[in-house]
Structure 1
Amino acid sequence: MSTMRCLVQKYGGTSVAGIDRLRRAAAALAASHAVRPTVAVVSAQGDTTDRLLAAAAEAGSGDHTRETDQLLVTGEIASAALLALCLRKLGVDAVSCTGGQAGITVRGPAGEGRVAAIDTAAVRGHLAAGRLVVVAGFHGIGGDGDVLTLGRGGSDTTAIALAAALGAERCEIFTDVAGVHTADPRLVPQARLLPAVPVDVMTEMAFAGARVLHDRAVELAAAQDLTVIVKSAFEEGEGTVISSRQDAAALEDHGIMGIAHDLDVTRVLIHGPGGGEDAAAAVLEVFARHNAPVDLVARSGPHEAEFRMGFTTRDSDLRRLEPDLRAGVARSGHRIEFDGGVAKVSLIGIGLLNRPQHTARLLSLLGAAGIPVGWLSTSQLRVSVTVPRGQVRDALALLHREFGLDQEPADVPDGQPLSLIGG
């Protein structure tokens, strides 16, 4: 068995929340390991991470520090040990590992680390001995030996990084949904399950707010040409295959593949007199130092009569970003304004710059429905706009229906303009 390519499976927090779900995951892993060497990566159970963060805030300052990371990883380590115990009760030779024991080295600040390297010797040794390896996700060891967590989607990243380092056959992500849908099914009941999504499209969907898989994890899968399958931990189904190997002819018929939304958004406007130092570079350097993403960026030229720069960022990142942002903007003599009452809605697809009719339809539809559109950004894979946060559900429902996403591609009525789903 040890000469076969292994399989990596990741189980999210809801998939291991409670002993019954742990036993269900253990049974599935045991069946997999009987066929091929298997590595499991687990998140903390249920809302454990949120509870630990609340406890850290109550005990200390609430800032993410070394001690916060030390505390948070206990959730993943407990999940891994409990799952290994369930497997051993089934007669499976299983061993749990922390991120450090699995050879994962991480670089970066506390709470925002990135995988730097993986020494797979220990995991390969366990697999060669016939053991099923359960790895605690979300963290690794820094260069000084301290624990460092990976931030949002850290267990997804752990699983995909391990799969790539081990040369795994694929990485399977088990979660509480059946796979990737054309929209969030909790807000759009008509959303359809997508059987396959190109990895570059999935990266845009994840960055635009689709919660089923984290964007950093998808980026890593794309860079390593790794096939990822997202499926439900609670019901049978094939899930969604995310891969670079897609049928180009079939994709040509689907200009719009899905709609994503993100409520974790703040709109930022910087303005003041022009003709001075370019404030844009200083602002973006703040985001780089904090490993925080920025989106929908637009600015005037630094030597124009007035300098204006607008962008969106994650509302959840503002606590650590805002002091540096305000200080940098003040040094340049500009003013900064924050608007937290918005959300981002995005059309996700292929070749969208070649199909400007999609952007025109989006703007016309939302305008006619009385949903004011703020800032706009377009690329080949995404058209994003900001809308009032309280009108996101209405915007999603309208766009999902307008672009034919509630219908199977073959069921789109004859005579319907091809621009609704293609170009």
Structure 2
Amino acid sequence: MEVLVQKYGGTSLETLDRVRNAALRIAPEWRRGRSLVVVVSARGSRTDDLLRLAADIGPTRPSRELDQLLAVGECESAALMALALTRLGVPATSLTAHQAGIRTTDRHGDALISSIGAAPVRAVLEKGEVAVVTGFQGVDQAGDIATLGRGGSDTTAVALAARLRASACEIYTDVDGVFSADPRVLPAARCLPWIRPDVMAEMAFAGARILHTRCVELAAMEGVEVRVRNASSQAPGTTIVELQDGRPLETRRVVVAVTHDTDVARVLVHCQNGCRDLAPEVFEVLAAQGTVVDLVARSGPYENEFRMGFVMRRSQAGRIRAALNEVAVGFGGGVRFEENVGKVSVVGMGLLSRPEYTARVMAVLAAAEIPTSWISTSQLRISVIVPQDRTVDAVAALHREFHLDQHEQRSPDAPRTSATSAHSAPV
């Protein structure tokens, strides 16, 4: 069977009309003889509504019962989609994560997919039906529902595509594809026709909310071709794939996109006892909570005071604040959280090998009078911390600096005359 996996996000299913429109897009593929697996998210703001409902009961944290509640949203979407397809004369069966054989680790609220027993899905496909599978969830070793974290339906879709050896995984959303910046804050942003998986993974981690980070990483590891398309249009979208078209790498655009993230907190852990290295304890707290950090720096072994700084999601700060304080206060130190910051990242290829790009980033932000603090560089990303209220200004300035509103040229850009762009390398 040639299998195609399609995933429809919450905005694509927000109303019943949108559910019907998605079904109208699915039906022609089935009529062409494709074996179709459709992964669905909860409709619209359903997950947020369920979280508010739980909060009305009392303070909540990731748990078995919260996952039981949140799973309702995807189950609703799957049943509605199966009904809509059946109404069009397309036989369809909805499957929960348990019925589809999706197994996860035991971490509620942020579980990882450990395996998929694909036989139940294949059985539906072999009957000539569309398999509509709930995203965002699986079943842990105890047989309980475990959710995959926000955006986890993307990961469900890619995992199914890998397990079923699908020809592609199409992610349908409310924008035309992956853009050079967030088009909601920068209208000049350009839709990218294709992008490398490693670059897309960096964009996702650095704030591009179009795809779940783990979904891109899994697609790269499993060799799954991912296409991001608009559920409401026929735009070709963006293909995430290793594309080789014969052009020498040196003539490719180095900077691909500018991303931003305002869900950021800057954290500083300090202790006056410089002989005490708190780094292992700090990382144990972060690991226990499943907290991902970036821009990590720390004091050296011969300094009088231990200091360690990093940035993390502001929305996750509440759940680790007390644990970090307990570690630091026990040794005469403390923890400071700064939440009025944003992270802006230039994403591309070979950036660490070209230090002039870091110089350009810092120079253009200085020229725009945008204060900067912590900075991190790698081959794929340059990230800098700026005041939260200047984040969008920083995105716009860097997008202009690297000509991201223009289509990629086949030869390096001519040297520019501005002080911030006196290099002849391609942008």
TM-score by length of 1: 0.96
Equivalent in the alignment of 1:76 = 74
Equivalent in the alignment of 1:389 = 388
Q: CA 1:299–1:64 in structure 2 vs 1: closer, same or farther (change >3 Å)?
A: same
Q: State yes or no: 1:365 paired with 2:371.
A: no
Partners of 2:273 and 2:332 within 8 A in 1: no
Separation in structure 2 between the aligned mates of residue 319 and residue 415 of structure 1, nearest angstrom: 48
Separation in structure 2 between the aligned mates of residue 162 and residue 418 of structure 1, nearest angstrom: 48
Separation in structure 2 between the aligned mates of residue 74 and residue 68 of structure 1, nearest angstrom: 10
Separation in structure 1 between the aligned mates of residue 308 and residue 379 of structure 2, nearest angstrom: 23
Equivalent in the alignment of 1:159 = 157
Q: CA deviation at 1:404?
A: 0.8
- Of the structure 1 ranges 408-417 and 97-106, higher mean CA displacement relative to structure 2 is found in 408-417
Once the two structures are superposed, residues 280-304 of structure 1 have per-residue CA deviations (whole angstroms, 9 ceiling, x without a partner) of: 1211121111222100001112442
Separation in structure 2 between the aligned mates of residue 259 and residue 298 of structure 1, nearest angstrom: 23
Partners of 2:112 and 2:148 within 8 A in 1: yes
Once the two structures are superposed, residues 211-247 of structure 1 have per-residue CA deviations (whole angstroms, 9 ceiling, x without a partner) of: 1101111111111111100010011111101013444
Q: CA 1:261–1:238 in structure 2 vs 1: closer, same or farther (change >3 Å)?
A: same
Once the two structures are superposed, residues 361-391 of structure 1 have per-residue CA deviations (whole angstroms, 9 ceiling, x without a partner) of: 1111111211100100000000000000001
Separation in structure 2 between the aligned mates of residue 302 and residue 246 of structure 1, nearest angstrom: 46
Counterpart amino acid of residue 341 in structure 1:
N
Separation in structure 1 between the aligned mates of residue 414 and residue 343 of structure 2, nearest angstrom: 32
For the residue of structure 1 that corresponds to 2:24, the secondary structure is helix
- Of the structure 1 ranges 159-168 and 284-293, higher mean CA displacement relative to structure 2 is found in 284-293
Once the two structures are superposed, residues 136-169 of structure 1 have per-residue CA deviations (whole angstroms, 9 ceiling, x without a partner) of: 1100111111111001211011101111111111
Q: CA 1:165–1:420 in structure 2 vs 1: closer, same or farther (change >3 Å)?
A: farther
Q: CA deviation at 1:414?
A: 4.6
- Of the structure 1 ranges 389-398 and 411-420, higher mean CA displacement relative to structure 2 is found in 411-420
Partners of 2:413 and 2:424 within 8 A in 1: no
Partners of 2:39 and 2:157 within 8 A in 1: yes
For the residue of structure 2 that corresponds to 1:61, the secondary structure is coil
Separation in structure 2 between the aligned mates of residue 325 and residue 318 of structure 1, nearest angstrom: 10
Partners of 2:415 and 2:424 within 8 A in 1: no
Q: CA deviation at 1:322?
A: 1.4
Partners of 1:96 and 1:133 within 8 A in 2: yes
Partners of 2:269 and 2:308 within 8 A in 1: yes
Q: CA 1:363–1:166 in structure 2 vs 1: closer, same or farther (change >3 Å)?
A: same
For the residue of structure 2 that corresponds to 1:101, the secondary structure is helix
Q: CA deviation at 1:31?
A: 1.1
Separation in structure 2 between the aligned mates of residue 202 and residue 81 of structure 1, nearest angstrom: 32
Superposition map of 1:21-36 within 5 A: 21-35=18-32, 36=34
Separation in structure 2 between the aligned mates of residue 186 and residue 400 of structure 1, nearest angstrom: 14
Once the two structures are superposed, residues 231-279 of structure 1 have per-residue CA deviations (whole angstroms, 9 ceiling, x without a partner) of: 1001111110101344473653211000000011000011223543321
Identity among equivalent positions (%) equals 50
Equivalent in the alignment of 1:254 = 253
Partners of 2:253 and 2:409 within 8 A in 1: no
Equivalent in the alignment of 1:14 = 11
Q: CA 1:267–1:234 in structure 2 vs 1: closer, same or farther (change >3 Å)?
A: same
Runs of 4+ in structure 1 deviating by more than 6 angstroms, as ranges, are: none
TM-score by length of 2: 0.95
**Unaligned 5+ runs, structure 2:** none
Q: State yes or no: 1:55 paired with 2:50.
A: no
Counterpart amino acid of residue 355 in structure 2:
P
Partners of 2:38 and 2:133 within 8 A in 1: yes
Equivalent in the alignment of 2:293 = 294
Partners of 2:91 and 2:128 within 8 A in 1: yes
Partners of 1:80 and 1:96 within 8 A in 2: yes
Equivalent in the alignment of 1:126 = 124
Equivalent in the alignment of 2:379 = 380
- Of the structure 1 ranges 172-181 and 316-325, higher mean CA displacement relative to structure 2 is found in 316-325
Q: State yes or no: 1:352 paired with 2:356.
A: no
Q: CA 1:62–1:250 in structure 2 vs 1: closer, same or farther (change >3 Å)?
A: farther
Equivalent in the alignment of 1:148 = 146
- Of the structure 1 ranges 242-251 and 314-323, higher mean CA displacement relative to structure 2 is found in 242-251
Q: CA 1:139–1:357 in structure 2 vs 1: closer, same or farther (change >3 Å)?
A: same
Superposition map of 1:260-275 within 5 A: 260-275=259-274
For the residue of structure 2 that corresponds to 1:193, the secondary structure is coil
**Unaligned 5+ runs, structure 1:** none
- Of the structure 1 ranges 321-330 and 37-46, higher mean CA displacement relative to structure 2 is found in 321-330
- Of the structure 1 ranges 280-289 and 198-207, higher mean CA displacement relative to structure 2 is found in 280-289
Partners of 1:403 and 1:421 within 8 A in 2: no
Separation in structure 1 between the aligned mates of residue 55 and residue 302 of structure 2, nearest angstrom: 44
Equivalent in the alignment of 1:321 = 320
Partners of 1:279 and 1:302 within 8 A in 2: no
Q: CA deviation at 1:413?
A: 6.9
Once the two structures are superposed, residues 114-140 of structure 1 have per-residue CA deviations (whole angstroms, 9 ceiling, x without a partner) of: 101100010011111111000011001
Equivalent in the alignment of 1:339 = 338
Q: CA deviation at 1:407?
A: 1.2
Partners of 2:6 and 2:169 within 8 A in 1: yes
Equivalent in the alignment of 1:422 = 426
RMSD, aligned α-carbons: 1.7
For the residue of structure 1 that corresponds to 2:132, the secondary structure is strand
Equivalent in the alignment of 2:401 = 402
Separation in structure 1 between the aligned mates of residue 247 and residue 146 of structure 2, nearest angstrom: 44
Separation in structure 1 between the aligned mates of residue 210 and residue 391 of structure 2, nearest angstrom: 18
